[in-house]
Chain A
Amino acid sequence: MPLFQRKNQTTLVVVRGAPSVEERQNVSVGEIADSPSIPSGMWEKCANCGSIVYNEDLLRTNKVCPGCGYHFRLSALKRLELTADEGTLNIFNAELRGGDPLGFPGYAEKVEKMRAATGLDEAIVTAEAQIGGYDCVLAAMDSNFMMASMGYAVGEKFVQAAEKALSKRVPLVVFTASGGARMQEGMVSLMQMAKASGAVSELNAAGVPYIVVLTDPTTGGVTASFAMLGDITLAEPGALVGFAGRRVIEQTTKTSLPPGFQSAEFLLEKGFIDAIVPRNELREALIRLLAFHKGVRP
């Protein structure tokens, strides 16, 4: 298969009962939250330039605003579909779930509701795949699922993905997005940070490449663990990436924050990421990077 060339159809090995990618586009956050919202499905409003963008156009641009280039958030399945070679995606651990260690009121119901709304069992999807013909393990987090917060299942699926990359000696490529640790699972969530960072240390020891793509938003306990530990760290333009939330910092320091604070561009300037790559150039960038790790010039 020639590099740098995509076919239009991608075969997804999808979790049982999951809606198709097209159906998923119609699930707006407003619907998930059960709040009154303008009937969606036809269009979305760009959070950056405010223009009304037809979903038909967003599908064509992979959810990049045709007017201003703003990157809308993308579902995990769509992300995997955009990144992997056609027909190579093999999702594993789709049904791995966490528990309810605090017996937190309403948590189990909330998770069930999220499952129904997203068609996913948890906030990260992990898969074996090829990107430009290179074998790798690929993972994407989904902010539609409880803001992709990390509890047991997210931590465990990340670690099992890293372990698979380790045993097969293939690169691990992870698209992060997260509101941080999942509060409802208490300390079990915090411990996932240690577990996930430990898994990265094993990749380091074995010389297995780990590439991170930071997407909007990546914060809290995910930033303070596996999101910031890549050998190579890319980010989508405008992605919010930080440790503490804006409001918390403003309350702590009694100052208001400058515009652009904690953006991908801010992180690049401060020296914490390698490059900002627009969504529709990411696959090509990953293929170029994977070639360097293979060590054979394509």
Chain B
Amino acid sequence: MSAWDRVLAARDPKRPTAKYYIDQAFDGFFELHGDRLFADDPAIVGGLAWLNGVAVTVIGQEKGVTPREKTLRRFGSPNPEGYRKALRLMEQAEKFNRPVINLVDTQGAYCGVGAEERGQGRAIADNLMRMMALRVPTITVILGEGGSGGALALAVSDRVAILENAVYSILSPEGFASILWKDASRAQEAAETMKLTAGELKALGVVDAVIMEPGGDAKNNPQAAAEAVKAYIAKELETLGKLSVEELVQARRAKFRAMGR
């Protein structure tokens, strides 16, 4: 598969979304709403759930399934209140010593007037800063599209894994081509250059693991994909659970500190 094929697979409307994984890989999900400051952002779903009998906080960017739901959820592009809800839930997890599992699937943070008025930049920055120091284990799985800072705001984690056909990039290939070549139609060419595929990101050290999609594509066998994600999270939670809080935070800091070196 070319990089562009992966971009298309990651965007495929038939690809399972975050809510599917929350329902299949976890059980007893109790959704918690709102950022306590402004609103509840439907682009981010979060709450408490069990994973193999372990109580966790799970947060996901949800694109929506039906057309009406997609519009309501802005196709998974969060507003600042979405990031602030996520941060509220992560800090709550820290308070009660629960691991945090984040599921990323977004084209990017929402670009709107209200988003700017309510400090999209500040909201993302806060998450990056707080996640780096969070005193509980954190695992992020990139399920579909990992779009820029809007994805990173849920991905400063002890473990960052990516599904085989998911992509994670500095910007959409269209945006990249538009900025660097003044020609958004060269998106396909951009995708091949950007090192946005799972294998390339693993080689760069940007992600820690690639989770294979049974049947070659999560949409062919969503149930098996959810099982694979669950198995990965369970295994890594066990590994991370053996570290002291200090070791955990130090290792996380060291990992991101070394990126790009």
Which A residues are closer than 8 A to B by beta carbons? 98-99, 101-102, 104, 152, 155-156, 159, 181, 183-195, 197-198, 200-202, 204-205, 220-221, 223-229, 242-245, 248-249, 252-253, 255, 257, 261-262, 270-272
Q: Which residues of A contact B256 (CB under 8 A)?
A: 191, 194-195, 198
Beta-carbon contact of A252 and B111 below 8 Å: yes
Looking across the interface, which residue of chain B has its beta carbon closest to that of A222? B121
Residues of A within 8 A of B206 (CB): 187-188, 191
Add 14 more A-B contacts to A227-B125, A257-B113 (CB < 8 A): A186-B170, A187-B168, A190-B148, A193-B152, A194-B152, A198-B129, A201-B130, A227-B121, A242-B121, A244-B116, A249-B116, A252-B111, A261-B113, A270-B117
Cα-based distance from A183 to B177 in the complex (angstroms): 10
Identify 24 residue pairs between A and B in the complex whose beta-carbon atoms are under 8 Å apart, listed by A's number.
A152-B260, A183-B170, A183-B171, A186-B195, A187-B168, A187-B204, A190-B149, A190-B170, A191-B259, A192-B259, A194-B156, A197-B125, A198-B128, A198-B133, A223-B121, A224-B149, A225-B149, A227-B125, A243-B120, A243-B121, A244-B112, A244-B116, A245-B111, A249-B111
Closest-by-CB residue of A relative to B258 is A195
The residues in B between 220 and 253 inclusive whose CB is less than 8 angstroms from any CB of A are: 253
B34 to chain A, nearest CB (A): 20
Interface of B toward A, CB cutoff 8 Å: 109-113, 115-122, 124-126, 128-130, 132-133, 148-149, 152-153, 155-156, 168-171, 176, 179-180, 193-196, 201, 204, 206, 253, 256-257, 259-261
**Interchain CA distance A155-B170 in the complex, whole Å:** 15
Contact B133–A272 (Cβ < 8 Å)? no
Looking at B116, B149, B169, B256, the one whose CB has the most chain A CB atoms below 10 A away is B116
A159-B257, A190-B152 known; A224+B170 contact, CB < 8 A: no
Give, as a whole number of angstroms, the nearest-CB distance from B259 to chain A: 4
Contact B195 A272 (CB under 8 A): no
A198 to B206, CA, bound (A): 16
Asked whether A225 lies within 8 Å of B128 as measured between CB atoms, the reply is: yes
Cβ contact within 8 Å between B113 and A249:
yes
Query: How far is B168's CA from A224's CA once the two chains are assembled, in angstroms?
Result: 17
Counting chain B CB atoms within 10 Å of each CB, the highest count among A194, A225, A242 belongs to A194
